[in-house]
Amino acid sequence: MGDSTQNFSSPNISGHPESSKDATEHTKARHAEVAAGLSFTTDDFELASRGLIATHPTGFIDGPLGVPARDISDYDFINDREAPATVDPSLWRHAQLNNIHGLFKVDDGLYQVRGYDVAVVSFIEGETGWIIIDPLMTEPTASAALTMANEHLGERPVKAIIYTHSHTDHYGGVRGVTTPEAVANGEVDIYAPEGFLDAVVAENLIGGNAMFRRTQYQFGIFLPKNERQHVDIGLGKTLALAPPGLLAPTHDITHTGQEVVIDGVRVVFQITPEAEAPAEMNFFFPDKGWLCMAENCTHNMHNLIPFRGAKARDTLAWSKYIAEAMDMFGADSKLVFASHHWPRWGHDEVTEFLSRQRDMYRWIHDQTMRMASRGLVANEIAEELEMPPEFQDESHTRGYYGSLAHNVKAVYQLYLSWYDGNPAHLWPHPPVEAAQRYVKFMGGAESVLAQARESFAEGDYRWVAEVVNHLVFAEPDNPEALALQADALEQLGYQSESATWRNAYLTGAMELRTSPPPVRAVHRKDMVEVISLSQLTDTMGIRVKSEDVGGVNVRVAVNLTDSGEQGVIGLQRRTLRFDAGEPVGEVDAVMSLTKSTMVDLVIVAQSYAEALASGLIEVDNPDLARQLFDNLEEHFSNFNIVTP
């Protein structure tokens, strides 16, 4: 996630303004068919409401960006209403469930605050204070949750924090419940799975700039809140609008079966890498009978590769981790909870919930690869597979966040890559060049539009979106193409059970009718400053302008005066290399600076010349050291997606 106001600025409403439209008769007919087939065996509304102690006194949580971090009233339009024609009825029901918010008692000594950020924060009474599991994504929402817990349950100091995994919505609010000083002096311990910081760097810093732009589509960050636009995220209601932060873990959990006593509470951990996240863990409280499944089991089918981008997840391992959790902890579990949605109570309910989640991911994996073994490619498998009835009568195995068609492709990619084996697809033209050729072959813009309008009238919105996309990329200033493409994406959004599909379609439609948010520089200092010098160099490497550093061969010894870290950064063959520790062999320059200054140089928040002139850098050969920093590219947000 982003960390500055540019990431949360409003879209630039200009270019091709047009309001959203109503559902077509084709969409209404589809929704009627869906509604007729909905039947669930579990009363999710009772579960989602159980144990409610209090709600936030105003529902309004202020933020630092000039907009509310969270305003519960944004979604009042969802409560106590039948599904409108513009929302899939199954998704509407799920959106109503995610509207239930407040401080909840899960069991004696275990509480949750739900509904104020996309994730859930859990509070456990330790011997001397709070143990907090996953402090949400933003400081304002995490702080508000802690305030609610202290006001209604009795004030306690925060003694420990557990990060279940390496996704921002599970650690980004940590500075709202503790301080760097409290962690540094040992007042607060932070536990995380081994590899946590490496995963954070890979996902949020190396892939982060491109990922955040795509996140805007997945979560519909800039969509207005109403029945034609944003209604839900699937995993929760919405993202809180405030910058995430990060404090590094103080304790690594390294292996399954590891037991730790945290503020007098026994916890047994299960490591689950490369399932829902590269670094993740489930854990069990043996003296309480509580099983935390992190984000490995939530009340929806998860995605196996998110729209925002990430590594494809290992679905087979995911299923086996759930089975392992059942074997290790199932017999003694009296409730199961996660870092999204609501818990399940009772041994039998725990068993049913976990076993169905286990079998769902295994079924997706096995059936995808069975069909791949017959020679079907990902798109063909996605069309042929349908979720069997065993997974349709419980809401927690439906695709409100992930979706079967998308997850099939993730399984295929994990084993067989993006390439389907057909040489015709091995080296296609890039989008603009391909689009120009397609439009020419199809008889020009007017011919494309005429035929696409016929398909739209027939309700074939998928085909309209595919065909008119070529015209948009060939002629991005063609207002009729932009309008028709927006209309097609909008109907596809209305028809989507998956909240992420809906958000992506409707965000695309909005940007076709307006424009992307304004482009601004991206500086991610709040997260970068807590990582190691080695990890910092990794993020620096993706900024090197290869075209400008031909022939450069330089090695610079770097000493961080405050953290004590040191190493040698080398630039050779247009590539950065880092060697930790004292220099081995000759170096071309030796420089000393604070970590904060080093971070500013790496993220291009300050130039080398400015830092040198300000006395922030001590260096014996400034001109040679300059070559490391004068050829770094500044990252900018909000590149085009639905237009070239």
Check if the beta carbon of residue 148 is closer than 8 Å to that of residue 178: no
Residue 421: inside a domain, yes or no?
A: no
Average pLDDT over every residue of 2-17: 36
| CATH code at position 438 | 1.25.40.880
pLDDT band for 395, please (50, 70, 90 cuts): very high
Q: What percent of the chain has pLDDT over 70?
A: 97
| CATH code at position 301 | 3.60.15.30
Do 619 and 580 fall into the same domain? yes
Single out the residue in 488, 513, 538 at which a domain terminates: 513
pLDDT band for 1, please (50, 70, 90 cuts): very low
**Cβ count within 10 A of residue 481:** 25
Do 279 and 334 fall into the same domain? yes
Which residues are CB-contacts of 202 (< 8 A; sequence separation ≥ 6)?
A: 278
One-letter amino acid at 424 equals A
Residue 387: inside a domain, yes or no?
A: yes
Average pLDDT over every residue of 432-461: 98
Residue 210: inside a domain, yes or no?
A: yes
Which residues are CB-contacts of 30 (< 8 A; sequence separation ≥ 6)?
A: 495
Q: Give per-residue pLDDT as tens, 107-165.
A: 999 999 999 999 999 999 999 999 999 999 999 999 999 999 999 999 999 999 999 99
| CATH code at position 604 | 3.30.1050.10
Do 502 and 536 fall into the same domain? no
pLDDT band for 183, please (50, 70, 90 cuts): very high
Do 441 and 566 fall into the same domain? no
Do 467 and 509 fall into the same domain? yes
Whether the pLDDT of residue 223 is over 50: the answer is: yes
Instruction: Give me the sign of the Cα torsion angle 346, 347, 348, 349.
Output: positive
Check if the beta carbon of residue 34 is closer than 8 Å to that of residue 531: no
Cα gap 137→198, rounded to integer Å: 19
pLDDT at 520: 79
Cα gap 549→463, rounded to integer Å: 45
Single out the residue in 362, 378, 412 at which a domain terminates: 412
Q: Give per-residue pLDDT as tens, 485-514.
A: 999 999 999 999 999 999 999 999 999 999
Domain count, the chain: 3
pLDDT band for 581, please (50, 70, 90 cuts): very high
> 37-46, 435-444, 521-530: lowest mean pLDDT where?
521-530
Do 499 and 529 fall into the same domain? no
Burial of 62 per CB tally in 10 Å (0-12, 13-18, 19+): middle
Do 462 and 559 fall into the same domain? no
Do 401 and 435 fall into the same domain? no
Residue 3: inside a domain, yes or no?
A: no
Whether the pLDDT of residue 78 is over 60: the answer is: yes
Check if the beta carbon of residue 322 is closer than 8 Å to that of residue 356: no
pLDDT at 8: 42
pLDDT at 192: 98
Q: Give per-residue pLDDT as tens, 583-634.
A: 988 999 999 999 999 999 998 999 999 999 999 999 999 999 999 999 999 8
Residue 636: inside a domain, yes or no?
A: no
> 194-208, 283-297, 604-618: lowest mean pLDDT where?
194-208
Check if the beta carbon of residue 286 is closer than 8 Å to that of residue 268: yes
Whether the pLDDT of residue 552 is over 90: the answer is: yes
Average pLDDT over every residue of 258-280: 97
Question: In which domain, by residue range, is 255 found?
Answer: 18-412
Residue 263: inside a domain, yes or no?
A: yes
Residue 348: inside a domain, yes or no?
A: yes
Do 436 and 544 fall into the same domain? no
Average pLDDT over every residue of 374-392: 96
Cα 7 versus chain centre, distance? 14
**Cβ count within 10 A of residue 259:** 11
Tell me, yes or no, if the pTM score tops 0.85. yes
pLDDT at 528: 83
Do 619 and 474 fall into the same domain? no
Single out the residue in 456, 486, 513 at which a domain terminates: 513
Kindly report the average pLDDT of the chain as a whole number: 94
Q: Give per-residue pLDDT as tens, 54-64.
A: 999 999 999 99
**H helix or E strand, kind and range, residue 465:** helix 461-474
Do 494 and 407 fall into the same domain? no
Output the CA–CA distances (angstroms, integers) from residue 50 to 109, 214, 473, in the order listed: 15, 35, 51
Do 497 and 565 fall into the same domain? no
Check if the beta carbon of residue 80 is closer than 8 Å to that of residue 132: no
Within 330-403, residue ranges assigned H as helices are 347-373, 378-384
SS3 387: coil
Residue 167: inside a domain, yes or no?
A: yes
Which residues are CB-contacts of 304 (< 8 A; sequence separation ≥ 6)?
A: 312, 313, 315, 364, 402, 406, 407, 410, 411
pLDDT at 3: 33
Whether the pLDDT of residue 640 is over 60: the answer is: yes
Check if the beta carbon of residue 113 is closer than 8 Å to that of residue 264: no
